[in-house]
């Protein structure tokens, strides 16, 4: 039988986690642009993931925010790794191009080509208009 409370002798092994809920959809695009931080840039990328042009703009803004940050080297490394994982959903060709990228600054320049290719694939799958 499962109990909601563990026995006393097991309580020391029960994890006690604290966390903060961050609801990225609670922020408007204007609020995110106003804050001008790397975190707000990440939220912009998350929100723009369904629109190619918006995603490109969000990545460019994120790269600019990282370049202006005093911890730019570490932020660039960590956020580039995250963004590459985030963009892997675009397919195998995009993944090959993303593997070559080591910096968000490079990624912002290459991303346009990757996104155009992904958009062309989607358009090729659509039935012709009649």
CB 44 within 8 A of CB 32: yes
Long-range CB contact pairs, 64-68, < 8 A, 24+: 65/36, 65/37, 65/38, 65/40, 65/41, 66/38, 66/41, 66/104, 66/105, 67/105
Q: Which domain holds residue 43?
A: 17-125
Return mean pLDDT, the chain.
76
In a domain, 10, yes or no: no
In a domain, 87, yes or no: yes
In a domain, 111, yes or no: yes
The total number of structural domains that make up the chain:
1
Which of 84-88, 96-100, 104-108 reaches the highest mean pLDDT? 84-88
Q: What is the pLDDT of residues 10-56, one digit of tens each?
A: 888 888 888 888 888 888 888 888 888 998 998 988 888 777 778 77
In a domain, 12, yes or no: no
**Number of other CB atoms surrounding residue 8 within 10 Å:** 7
The CA distance from 49 to 11, in Å, is: 42
CB 47 within 8 A of CB 24: yes
* pLDDT value for 17: 81
In a domain, 21, yes or no: yes
* pLDDT value for 121: 65
47: Cα separation from own chain's centroid: 9
- Mean pLDDT computed over 95-114: 64
The CA distance from 87 to 76, in Å, is: 16
What predicted TM-score, i.e. pTM, was given to this entire model? Answer: 0.63
In a domain, 7, yes or no: no
In a domain, 66, yes or no: yes
Q: What percent of the chain clears pLDDT 90, i.e. is strictly above it?
A: 1
**Number of other CB atoms surrounding residue 64 within 10 Å:** 15
* pLDDT value for 1: 52
What the block records as the tokens of 110 is 């290459």
Band of the pLDDT at 108, cuts 50, 70, 90?
Answer: low
In a domain, 105, yes or no: yes
């Amino acid at each position: 039988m499962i109990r909601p409370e563990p026995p006393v002798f097991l309580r020391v092994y029960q994890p006690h986690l604290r966390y903060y809920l961050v609801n990225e959809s609670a922020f408007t695009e204007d609020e995110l642009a106003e804050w001008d931080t790397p975190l707000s840039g990440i939220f912009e990328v998350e929100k723009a993931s369904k629109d190619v042009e918006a995603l490109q703009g969000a990545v460019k803004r994120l790269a600019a925010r990282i370049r202006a940050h005093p911890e730019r080297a570490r932020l660039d490394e960590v956020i580039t790794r995250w963004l590459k994982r985030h963009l892997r959903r675009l397919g195998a060709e995009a993944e090959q191009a993303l593997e070559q990228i080591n910096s968000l600054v490079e990624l912002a320049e290459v991303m346009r080509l990757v996104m155009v290719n992904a958009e062309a694939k989607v358009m090729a799958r659509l039935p012709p208009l009649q």
